[in-house]
Structure 1
Amino acid sequence: MRSYHVDSGAGIAGLSIKEHPVPRPGPGQVLVAVRATSLSFRELMILRGDYVLPVKPDVVPISDGAGEVVALGPGVTAARVGDRVTATLFPSWQDGPFGVQHLPQLGGSLDGLLTEYALLDERALVPIPDHLSYEEAATLPCAAVTAWNALTGHGSGPLPGQTVVTQGTGGVSLFALQFAKALGARVIATTGSPAKAERLAELGADDVVDYRVTPDWPSRVRELTSGQGAEHVIDVAGDLGRSLEATSIAGQVASVGFVAGDPPPLDPRAIFRSGATVRGIAVGSRAQFVAMNELIEAHRLRPVIDRVFPFEHAPDAYHHYASGQAFGKIVITV
């Protein structure tokens, strides 16, 4: 079998393919023939060397993937040979709040899924919705679960008629748009591209704000909500001060990341002025993954995929993702 390996900070040029014997699953483990993987922003952070969680040397990268169970270790009861599965990014996080005991993560401190065969803890497995392909299912574990947690992890999802703001066209934002619409919310999306604005509207966004044309996009959000602001803002850029300006009193800002680079400092007075809650998101638990899949199945949702690369061209997939030109997920078939 073949696997890609890389060290934290080695960059895309540091990716290398190595051959190994196909492993045998031990107690509580399953062997999965990986069919597809997908990239998320954390993968670029790992290659840059600035990922916030531990990364072991010579790690098999990528947390997100989907495949078929081909062998079971002793005592496994949660899976059968032939099952189509994905896996949670944090294998031990089954439900409840996140804690340090759940820090081990695929593609970081644990080997990931840019490989032909992966050994996985049976507790991590999540069945694939029947209508999704392996390529589509491979996009779910990081970006989709993060979006789901951002919308629903504070206790309840957006209510019908409430407003959700999404930022840009990355994986988390596109999933948040789809989920919010399925939950009956109104979505205001921001982007800096007229072409992407059209695609966001086609995907269901009720309003799209081009922040290059309207730099003060929080004020535009307030105009579009009759001065009230949005009940939910999914912040992927890291500019929490501006997200708070767009949020309603007692609203929610889900802080997902800082894809725009070094974020500006947050003035505590902005929180008090807004009356909103800022909540950091660490992907999500297996229970949240399962609940998300129920919505995906009920509404027959399909992930937005920008481009699919073959296993042998995985570095090209990384380069395409790093270019920032994609609309949707980048998938690597195995």
Structure 2
Amino acid sequence: MKAWLLKDFGLHNLQPGDVTTPAPQPGELLVKVGAVSLNFRDKAIVDGIYEPHLVPKPLIPVSDAAGTVVAVGAGVTRFQVGDRVNSTLYSRWIDGAPGPDEPAYCIGMPLPGGLAEYMILHEDSAVPAPASMSDEEASTLPIAALTAWYSLMDVGHLEPGQTVLVQGTGGVSVFAAQIAAAHGARVIVTSSKDENLAKIKTLVGNAKVEGVNYRTHPDWERNVLELTNGLGADVTIDVAGGDGINRSVAATKVQGVVAQVGFLSGQTTALNLMPVIFRQTTIRGIAVAPRSSFERLNVFLDTHRIKPVIERVYRFDDAVQAFEHLARGPFGKVVIKIADA
């Protein structure tokens, strides 16, 4: 089969090649990949800044995929040939709390990912792809949509009428705004681009979204406090990381939740502890979610008719250009179509 192989760190070392099509073992599915979507995790793996000591070489990267089951191993009962499925990042995290070794069984690193014509998924980790979505649309769900859902609902216990603060307009952030608004929450979005703030207001509804340009207002947490009568957001989705987490704490209400989902601005921080202590803030690291949460997410998306926002779909042969687009910071998701490669 055709596949993209990461032979060493750096995008120039992501190269096309031919590899043996895998055969499904007991409990496994062979999936003809229809499409994959890119996340910052995928870029960080390619760049060598995401647990580089765990990255096997060569590696078929990219965790998020949607496709069709074309063969099954012995004992498979959850799916059959012809079913459309989604991958999940954690191939063994089904429900409840994660085990201590879940990262060792992640699709796209260290396990082979979906940037290939075929991939292997264990039947227990696969999720039925929404019938209302194309493969391109469904491929955006496993990390971006699920991270937003888990942060807001399972961790943040979001209630209608509460306020959600979302950083940026990338994949996780756009899904968080869509989900929060559909749930009846108020949304405040930060971005460096006024045009992206306008886009998300149009997408979600002007009445439900307010925007803050953090370039124009570098002390954006003050704007958030002004918009919330000094209280702050109930749940904050922090995709930036770095020292900016101190602003997220300041912008979040007393006993509110900061869901730390990303590290765009850095993997380390100088955290000011006194505001965390006095505001009694919960800072919760979010590493996506179990399969059971994905299944609840899909019901919600279907009920509220939420569609993923895809900025561009690339051909399989143009995977490098797709990664370059991701690095520029898309509005929503970047997708690679694979099925007709």
TM range (shorter): over 0.9
CA distance in 1, matches of 2:286, 2:269: 18
SS in 1 for 2:29: strand
1:241 aligns with 2:246: yes
C-alpha contact (below 8 Å) 2:7/2:15 kept by paired residues? no
Q: Counterpart amino acid of 2:239?
A: V
CA RMSD of aligned residues (A): 1.3
Runs of 4+, deviation exceeding 3 Å: 261-264
Matches within 5 A, 1:257-276: 257-261=262-266, 263-276=268-281
Partner of 1:68: 68
Partner of 1:27: 26
Decide which of 278, 286, 289 is 1:284's aligned counterpart: 289
CA distance in 1, matches of 2:3, 2:267: 33
CA distance in 2, matches of 1:121, 1:188: 39
Offset at residue 48 of structure 1 (A): 1.3
Partner of 1:16: 15
1:57-82 deviations in Å (ceiling 9; x for gaps): 21100000100001111100010111
Q: After the TM superposition, which of the residue ranges 182-191 and 156-165 deviates more from structure 2? A: 156-165
Q: TM-score, normalised by structure 2?
A: 0.94
Decide which of 297, 316, 319 is 1:314's aligned counterpart: 319
Q: Counterpart amino acid of 1:128?
A: A
Partner of 1:129: 130
CA distance in 2, matches of 1:223, 1:263: 29
1:129-172 deviations in Å (ceiling 9; x for gaps): 11111000001111111111111222x63111100000001111
Offset at residue 212 of structure 1 (A): 1.4
Partner of 1:328: 332
Q: TM-score, normalised by structure 1?
A: 0.96
Matches within 5 A, 1:198-209: 198-204=198-204, 205-209=208-212
SS in 1 for 2:12: helix
1:79 aligns with 2:79: yes
Q: How many residues align?
A: 331
Q: After the TM superposition, which of the residue ranges 141-150 and 310-319 deviates more from structure 2? A: 141-150
Matches within 5 A, 1:1-334: 1-7=1-7, 10-52=9-51, 54-103=54-103, 104-154=105-155, 157-204=157-204, 205-238=208-241, 239-261=244-266, 263-324=268-329, 326-334=330-338
CA distance in 2, matches of 1:178, 1:15: 33
Q: After the TM superposition, which of the residue ranges 266-275 and 295-304 deviates more from structure 2? A: 266-275
Q: 1:20 to 1:264 in 2, by over 3 A?
A: closer
SS in 2 for 1:270: helix
1:237-267 deviations in Å (ceiling 9; x for gaps): 1121100100111110001112123554101
CA distance in 1, matches of 2:82, 2:249: 47
SS in 2 for 1:331: strand
Runs of 5+ unmatched residues, structure 1: none
Sequence identity (%) = 44
Q: Counterpart amino acid of 1:72?
A: V
Offset at residue 277 of structure 1 (A): 0.6
